[in-house]
Chains A and B, each alone.
Chain A
Amino acid sequence: MFRVPFLVAIALAIAFGGGIWSTLWALEATTGFGVIRLGAWEAFPQAQTAEADPYAKSHRASAGALLYGSAEGLSFTAAVDDGGTPLRASCTYRIAGHTPPARLWTLYTLQGGRANRPEASKLPVALNSRAILRHADGSFEIEVSPEARPMNWLAIPEEGRFRLRLTLLDTPAAGSSGLIDLTMPSIQNLGCGNA
């Protein structure tokens, strides 16, 4: 005698549970479509515009972050290395190569949803284009490691996973033209642990 209410309850539970869960998951997992991937780096050059897709608009409405305008810059984030393995603070990585043309850039790490700031830890946990050593051709190598390194060292102050954020300021990469030719620096894993 409770068959019909039972069936209705199943349908409603799946509808509401599944609908809400899938929405939360979609907002958490992605900034929307329109991603550009250059190696391990990801950026969303259209996320702040009126042309952004509904997922991007929804994400930015719930995240409430202040995005970069197209004349300001473009933020690239990397959560994995070139091999596709998540970045871990116990490993050492080498970021090598050129950035796309940009007047200035900044590089820092994110851990636990927060940015590491140099004034908090007294270590070089953030670098910018004015304060690094370069090769004669303008390319650079940065070693990301919990241990001190010669040349350019980006320190990781805490254990666990981290993400890298490279923000290009005043860059033609933020316009949509010619994105295919851009190259971002590679992220190589040089080994993990105390080896």
Chain B
Amino acid sequence: MLKVLFAIVTGLFGAALLHLVIILSLPYFSEKDAYTRVLAEGSRHIFHRLPDQRDRAGLVQDDPFIEASVCAYDISQGPIRIYAQENVPFWSLAIYDAASNEVFSINDRTAAAGILDVVLATPVQLTVLRKSLPDPISQSILVETQQADGYVILRTMLPQPSFAPATDSFLSQAVCAPFEWRQRQQF
């Protein structure tokens, strides 16, 4: 009898151990996490509009009054610039790394003059950029991230259906792409 009790206690101990191992390791091997789903939307450095119904990649825009686009990035080769023309009542941008940790977020009131213009770079690239800031990005917000890959979410509000043309053009014109960041070498 004592042996059976001992076996049960051993089993419970093993169960607790397994529970901890799964909880702690799940973020590293999950294939359903947000970054994997954003990658499944299509190619990087393009904003993909999220549908109202859950799509093949498993992403959905639940809120009936919010329209959103996602874009996966990889800045190991060079920084990216995120910008869009705005004439919408509200927009917000969140940058996440591959583990879905928030790197940076901003909305139209916290941005200077309500302009969406963000450059995302690694610390090394930022050092090069700051030495000679190219003219097009001289007004941009410079964001530094340690992780080279991740994803960006751009959201905008659609308080009434009549705002649809404005939000459609805002999201379809939004750009999330690498740009010419180094001066050409002069020989």
Contacts and interface: CB of A to CB of B under 8 A. Distances in A.
A12 interface: yes
A6 B155 CA distance: 57
Chain A: number of interface residues, binned into ranges: 35 or more
A14 B100 contact: no
A49 B110 CA distance: 19
B171 interface: no
Contacts of A10: 4, 7-8, 11
B180 interface: no
Contact of B159 (A8, A54, A104): A104
B102 interface: yes
Interface in A121-149: 125-126, 128, 130-131
Contact of A106 (B17, B24, B63, B70): B63
Interface of A: 3, 7-8, 10-20, 22-23, 26-27, 48-50, 52, 54-55, 57-58, 60-73, 103-104, 106, 108, 110, 114-119, 125-126, 128, 130-131, 165, 167, 169-170
Interface of B: 3-4, 6-8, 10-19, 22-24, 26-27, 30, 32-34, 36-37, 50, 52, 58-59, 62-66, 68, 70, 89-90, 92-96, 99-102, 104-107, 109-110, 153, 155, 157, 159-160
18 contacts: A7-B3, A11-B7, A14-B8, A14-B10, A14-B14, A15-B13, A18-B11, A27-B26, A58-B24, A61-B30, A69-B93, A69-B102, A71-B92, A72-B94, A104-B90, A106-B63, A106-B66, A125-B64
